[in-house]
A and B are shown apart, each in its own frame.
Chain A
Amino acid sequence: MKRDLPTGDLPALVLAVLGGGPRHGYGIAREVERLSEGALHMKEGTLYPALRVLEQDGLVVSAWEAQPKGADRKVYTLTEAGTKEAARRTRALFDYAALIQTVLGRLEKGEGHAQLA
């Protein structure tokens, strides 16, 4: 099932993808789709404002690079601060996912209903 990527999760995913190496914007969007096997879809217009914010915060740097074929591309790379922030936000997302799984797991077992009763 294809679902839209929440805007708030986008910066963390962008940092995580850039942790695998420098990429241009199109490459970041495709990598997120590839890793989610097409299940996660981002509105690609939201990607570049998110990249600007990450640049302003000193977490990524960018540079135009000439390509062997076609137009120049703007490539983004994590800074040292960005690498640390990527690890922190990845950890936070993992913890959040585990928490949601715990809550839903308990509801499924009927624990929530028992407390309400």
Chain B
Amino acid sequence: MHSLLEGYLKEVAGHLAGMPAARRAEELREVRTHLENAVIVGREMGQTEDEAVRDALAQFGTPEALGENLVWAWRRERIRQMRNFWGAAACAVAVTILTAHLPLWIHTRLLPNPGRGFLQPPFSALFWSAWAIWLTPMFLLVGGVSGLLFPKRAVAGVVAGLTLFHSYFFVINLAHDSIAQISHQVYLLMLFGMDIVFVVVSAAAAWAVSRLRMVGQRRGYQAAAK
């Protein structure tokens, strides 16, 4: 490769500091391809290699301007990913907290032996199962909506939110159980296991829902490519 082109690409690379190495390599690869194409066309039009390289570089702009613009675009993408991740996590926790009062009301008003706490097998197992089944569509909605732009990040956010909230609930239940001096070890393990299964199933379902959009985008790509 011509020394001017190498020098240009090195300068651009210097202005892409902070960008992940893989992303930086991809950007430079694309710029290199573009400049090489421009040089080839210039040579075909009768220019010398030096003239073609100088023309190509002049048309591309300064390394500083290019680096600045590429870094700006990368930062924009990162900000949106972080916003989607934490936004999804916040949505998941908010949805759970806002809807938690309903099963609690059901538990205290409708189930046998109200007021003795949550851990009364077998009704408590039914209670938690009903809550999990009832809330799963809401988490699906949160995952799907949050997955509109960056599905994988949004699903991670939903999983983070679910895990945090379920951990909180598990700790609260454990404390309550200790205070009530109920020592259903196997039952506690069952409860913890159900929580894990619930988080995994909800995350998988939210991922599946968010994948629908990616499939739609891919179909658009295939239709446009025909």
Contact = CB atoms under 8 A, between A and B. Distances in A.
Given A26-B33, A26-B34, A71-B36, A45 B69 contact: yes
Contacts of B36: 70-71
Contacts of B217: 58, 61, 79-81
A58 B149 CA distance: 7
Nearest to B222: A77
A83 B32 CA distance: 29
Interface residues of A, number: 29
Interface residues of B, number: 34
B33 A45 contact: no
B184 interface: no
Interface string A73-100: 1100111111100000000000000000
A77 B70 CA distance: 20
A53 B60 CA distance: 18
A83 B69 contact: no
Given A44-B59, A77-B225, A25 B76 contact: no
A115 interface: no
A48 B33 contact: no
A61 B225 CA distance: 11
29 contacts: A24-B34, A26-B33, A26-B34, A44-B34, A44-B60, A45-B60, A45-B62, A45-B65, A46-B69, A48-B27, A48-B30, A48-B31, A48-B70, A49-B69, A52-B74, A56-B80, A61-B221, A71-B33, A72-B33, A74-B30, A74-B33, A77-B224, A78-B224, A80-B216, A80-B224, A81-B217, A81-B220, A82-B220, A83-B220
Q: Closest 10 CB pairs between A and B?
A: A80-B220, A45-B61, A52-B73, A49-B69, A45-B66, A79-B220, A49-B73, A26-B37, A43-B61, A61-B221
